[in-house]
Amino acid sequence: MKHVSKRVKELSESQTLLMAAKSRELQENGVDVINLSIGEPDFDTPEFIRKAAKKAIDDNITHYTPVPGFPELREAIAQKLKRDNKLDYSAGNVVVSTGAKQSLMNVVLSVINPGEELILPAPYWVSYYAMGEFAQASIKTIKTTVESEFKITGDQLEKSITSKSKLLIFSSPCNPSGSVYSEEELSDLVRVIQKHPNLVVVSDEIYEHINYSGSHASLARFEEIKEQVVTVNGVSKGFAMTGWRIGYIAAPEWIAKAAIKVQGQFTSGANSIAQMAAKAAVEASPDSVSYMNEAFLKRRELILDLIKDIDGLKTATPQGAFYVFPDVSHFFGKDTPEGKVIAHSTDLCMYLLNEVAVATVPGEAFGDENCIRLSYATSEKNIRLAIERIKTALDKLK
C-alpha cells in the first residue's frame, strides 16, 4: 500500500487555490465563470521591470544566487524600507525568498517549537494557519467582527498572550478583510507587545502599495519593539509581479540568520532574473504604480455601491488590498431552489459557483465562518455582472 505522510494528510489545502481550480475546471467545460476568488492584480508587470529582467538575461545573470539574495537587491530593499517605511535596516537584516509565502514559512519554522503558541487575529490569510499546523504550533485565534472593521485591540491581544505565546502574525492592509491599522491602532498593540519580549511579531505588509487610507504604518517603526518585529513584503501585489515569485523579510539578525539556514536546505537562492526585476521594482518610486491603486479604489467604490442593493449582506469599508469581506450569516439556514440548506459560508460559495458561475472564497478558510471573500481585482464589467448574478442567486434562497 502507498501512503503519504501523516504530515501531508493533515495539511489543509488552500481554499483560495481550490476555488480557483474549480473555476478553471468549469471554464474548461464551457461555463462562463466570473472569478472573484483570485488574489492577483489583473495588470501586467510594468515595462521598466520587464526591461530589467531582459537586461539580466542579456548580461548572463543566470547562475546560482546567494541563499539570502543578491547583495545589491538586499541593499536596494534596505533603502526602500528607509525611503518608504522609515525603517532602518542593513542588507544583513534582509532575506529574499521565492515569494512572500516562503518568507513567512521560513520565519515560522525558525521561531516556533512544537507546542508553542501562534496567535492569529481572525480573519487571517489562509496559509498562516496551515503554516502553524505544519510547525506543530498551538494556534490561538482572536475573533473580530464587521463592526470592529476586523481589527483587534491591545486589550484583546493582552487577554490572548500566555507564557507559551511565541509568535503573532497579522497583515495590514489585510487579506481578506482589506482592513488597515492606523499608527494609533498599532501603538495600542505595541503597548502590549513590549510587555512580552519573547513574543515575535510578523507584520505582513505585502499589500502596502494598495492602500486607500492615505498612509501606511509599519509596525517596526516603533523602536521599543523593533527587535521583536519581522516585516514581510514582496513585489507580487503592488507591482503586479505574482508570477516572478519574489518576497522578502526585514528582521532582527538572529531571525534573518535562522531563515537563511532554513532556506538553504529547502530552495537555496531565488531566481536570478526575477531578483534583478525585483531590484528595479523596489528602486522605483511607489508613484510609478499608483495607477493600479487608483483603479482598485474606483473598483472598490463600485463593488461597495452594488453590494448596498443586496439585502442581507453586511460589510465594512476596506481601506486597502482588493477584497471585500461581507458577513453573509443572514442566509444561513435558508434553502436553495433544489432544497439544500445553506449551513455555512462554504455552502454559500459552492451555491454561487454552481447556480450563477461566480467564484468566491468561504470565510472558514480565513477563520471567520460568517463571511465570504470577494476580490475586485478584475474589470468593472465583471464586477457589475458578478454582483448582479450574486443578487439573483441570493434572491432565490428561501
Distance, CA of 255 to chain centre:
21
pLDDT > 70? residue 66? yes
Element (H, E) at 118: strand 117-122
How far is residue 317's CA from residue 304's CA, in Å, rounded to a whole number? 8
Cβ distance 193 to 223 under 8 Å?
no
Distance from C-alpha of 324 to C-alpha of 191, rounded to nearest angstrom: 30
> Among residues 321, 247, 230, which one has the least CA distance to residue 282?
247
* Structural contact between residues 129 and 155, judged by C-beta atoms closer than 8 angstroms: no
Q: What value does the mean pLDDT take over residues 266-270?
A: 97
In residues, how long is the chain?
A: 398
Computed over every residue of the chain, the mean pLDDT equals 96
Task: Write the CA distances from 287 to 210, 243, 281, 291, 321, integer angstroms.
Answer: 12, 22, 11, 8, 17
Strands 323-324 and 247-250, how do they pair?
A: unpaired
The values of phi and psi at residue 181, to 5°, are -80, 130
- What is residue 17's predicted lDDT score, i.e. its pLDDT? 74
Grid coordinates representing 255?
Answer: 531571525
Given a cut of 70, whether residue 1 has pLDDT beyond it is no
In this predicted structure, what is the pLDDT of residue 258?
Answer: 98
Give 221's contacts (C-beta < 8 A, 6+ positions apart): 85, 86, 87, 183
pLDDT at 10: 80
Q: How sure is the predictor about 47, in pLDDT bands with cuts at 50, 70 and 90? A: very high
Per-residue pLDDT reduced to its tens digit, 110-166: 999 999 999 999 999 999 999 999 999 999 999 999 999 999 999 999 999 999 999
When pLDDT is averaged across residues 298-309 and rounded to a whole number, the result is 97
Residues 6 or more apart from 383 whose CB is under 8 A from it? 299, 302, 303, 306, 376
pLDDT digits (tens, 9 = 90+) for 229-257: 999 999 999 999 999 999 999 999 999 99
Which residue stretches of the chain are H helix? 6-10, 15-28, 47-58, 71-85, 100-111, 126-134, 154-160, 183-193, 253-266, 272-283, 290-307, 345-356, 380-395
- The set of cell numbers assigned to 348 is 454559500
pLDDT, tens only, 320-354: 999 999 999 999 999 999 999 999 999 999 999 99
List, as one string, the DSSP characters of 182-242.
Answer: -HHHHHHHHHHHTT-TT-EEEEE-TTTTSB-SS----GGG-GGGGGGEEEEEESTTTTT-G
Query: Is the separation of the CB atoms in 382 and 390 below 8 Å?
Result: no
Residue of 239, 267, 274, 358 whose CA lies nearest to 73: 274
